[in-house]
Amino acid sequence: MERKWWKESVVYQIYPRSFMDSNGDGIGDLRGIISKLDYLKELGIDIIWLSPVYESPNDDNGYDISDYQSIMDEFGTMEDWEALLHEVHKRDMKLIMDLVVNHSSDEHPWFVESRKSKDNPYRDYYIWRPGKNGKEPNNWESCFGGSAWQYDETTGEYYLHLFSKKQPDLNWENPKLRQELYDMMRWWLDKGIDGFRMDVINFISKEPGLPDAPNPEGRKYVPGGRYYMNGPRIHEFLQEMHKEVFSKYDIMTVGEMPGVTPEEAVLYTGEDRHEVHMVFQFEHMELDSGPGGKWDVKPWRLKDLKAVMSKWQKSLEGKGWNSLYLNNHDQPRMVSRFGDDRTYLEESAKMLATFLHMLQGTPYIYQGEEIGMTNVRFPSIEDYKDIETLNMYREKVFENGEEIEKVMDSIYKKGRDNARTPVQWDDSEHAGFTSGTPWIAVNPNYKEVNVKKALQDKNSVFHYYKKLIQLRKQHEIIVYGTYDLILEDHDQIYAYTRTLGEQKLLVICNFFSGNPVFELPSNLRYTKKELLISNYDTDPEERIENMVLKPYEARVYRLV
């Protein structure tokens, strides 16, 4: 397997709006980030992924870009951004930028032109179609609810928007548009950035003819997923992008790819394919979704988590590369979703971190995860800011008359704002995030969960992450070892091994609050064992052949 710096690295995601405010306007900003770089260095991460900081009307918090080459006023200036890059590099860390090119904002000058007339030179930069029998051109539903088409009076046609109506999809069939986007990417890379996280990048090739999606239930709009995810020209577009842009730099690229299968991921990330280095897959994020989708919440099962993670580990082994995450700005907090954020907050946060960081792939930490930040329960819908959540609430409560309590409960479990409350820096007002009024309220648990406290306590979640990251630097088996699931049928323990040459790692994670017995499979022989990390005080000499685990206990042994 090829050795690469981005395989050996740990990435930390910053959602700038909620990270740190330096000027008291209640919104996180670039100078705020700079003020916390020493903290990130102390944690030990290698790469920062910065969610979008480009000019944007903020319909979707920056994922709707109106100018790809300037900085959003609320976040600062281009000089601030240059200073950030300089300060990141000075500390020997890297910076990757979010690349949002499936769609732009409707306020981007291209779209402003495009909607003016059918023969405007920019018309074909977007996807316009006449209506069908007085209705939308097809039955596709937007990822944020409602039709994926918006009627535009000026020319009497509809444009496609897979997200909000202020996020029109760009037309990748147009070679001129593609060249403009490649120019823009090179412009950022020439400034010295270290790569891109590519937003819904497997949506850029749509099925020709944009056919209706099957609709057995006769609904008004239906998810058109397979007609725009992993579409017919996707590999061609990515290979062209690689040739025109990525191949000229030593960078890392990660493609966000809802609906991607491991078989496709091998094509996207294969070393000989020249597309991207890794993808964000979503299968483990869907384990608690029922047939009605994300908001139809059902309990997840350990059995399914084992099956999904093991499938991804084995399918990409020696062929591609995994990215490892349990939360981000679109997902609930991992400790609330897969752990216990009340009785065993610290134990389960550490266990989940162990589970993830010991898998094969590049681990991603989402801001606040490293101190055990949790989901939030705001009393009313008025407190929520996320367009996806607000659209869903409107549709379910106002249009379909669904019970408010039930809808709020699904927001508490799955809403994106769970991850977007400000980072809890200390126990002062607004958790030290801002001296003004934060754009979204702080999680009320900030007095117990905050960075200041975590730094002072040597047993904190923070110090545990720090150790996990250091271990990755010391043991190449953590990066390059192959993965094998053991105790497949155990209903409480997720255990696996990693193997590199004569060495093995044994990773044992109790995913629940009981006291299950771990029994070492008899084929796992060793002469010496070394306890690398555990989330309880543990006697390193304890026999591991048969042991009772504590709630959410995690241990990693090196066996030789």
The site for ligand NOJ (CB under 6 A) is made up of: 60, 63, 100, 163, 199-200, 256, 329-330
- Looking at the Cβ atoms of 125 and 496, the one nearer to ligand NOJ is 125
**Burial of 232 per CB tally in 10 Å (0-12, 13-18, 19+):** exposed
Strands 47-50, 11-14: pairing kind: parallel
Buried b (16+ CB within 10 A) or exposed e, 310-326: bbbbeebeebbbbbbbb
Residue positions counted in the chain: 560
Taking the complex as a whole, the smallest distance from the CB of residue 105 to ligand NOJ amounts, in Å, to 11
- Looking at the Cβ atoms of 295 and 552, the one nearer to ligand NOJ is 295
Does the annotation count 190 as an active-site position? no
- Looking at the Cβ atoms of 6 and 49, the one nearer to ligand NOJ is 49
* Candidates 55, 80, 141, 199; catalytic one: 199
Instruction: Report the first-to-last Cα separation within the chain, whole angstroms.
Output: 22
Of 288, 377, 278, 379, give the one whose Cα is nearest residue 327.
288
Does the annotation count 82 as an active-site position? no
Taking the complex as a whole, the smallest distance from the CB of residue 230 to ligand NOJ amounts, in Å, to 16
- Looking at the Cβ atoms of 147 and 510, the one nearer to ligand NOJ is 147
Taking the complex as a whole, the smallest distance from the CB of residue 117 to ligand NOJ amounts, in Å, to 28
Query: Are 361 and 319 spatial neighbours (Cβ–Cβ below 8 Å)?
Result: no
Instruction: Give dist(CA 102, CA 68) in Å, integer.
Output: 13
Residue nearest to ligand NOJ (CB): 63
Taking the complex as a whole, the smallest distance from the CB of residue 455 to ligand NOJ amounts, in Å, to 29
Cα–chain center distance at 185: 21
Taking the complex as a whole, the smallest distance from the CB of residue 167 to ligand NOJ amounts, in Å, to 6
What lies within 8 Å, CB to CB, of 348 at 6+ separation is 335, 338, 339, 340, 341, 552
Q: What are the angstrom distances between the C-alpha of 223 and each of 127, 135, 143, 414?
A: 18, 17, 8, 19
Taking the complex as a whole, the smallest distance from the CB of residue 479 to ligand NOJ amounts, in Å, to 26
* Candidates 256, 288, 341, 370; catalytic one: 256
Q: What are the angstrom distances between the C-alpha of 547 and each of 145, 176, 285, 512, 517?
A: 49, 64, 31, 16, 5
- Looking at the Cβ atoms of 21 and 60, the one nearer to ligand NOJ is 60
* DSSP-derived 3-state class of residue 59: coil
- Looking at the Cβ atoms of 7 and 329, the one nearer to ligand NOJ is 329
Q: Which residues are catalytic?
A: 199, 256
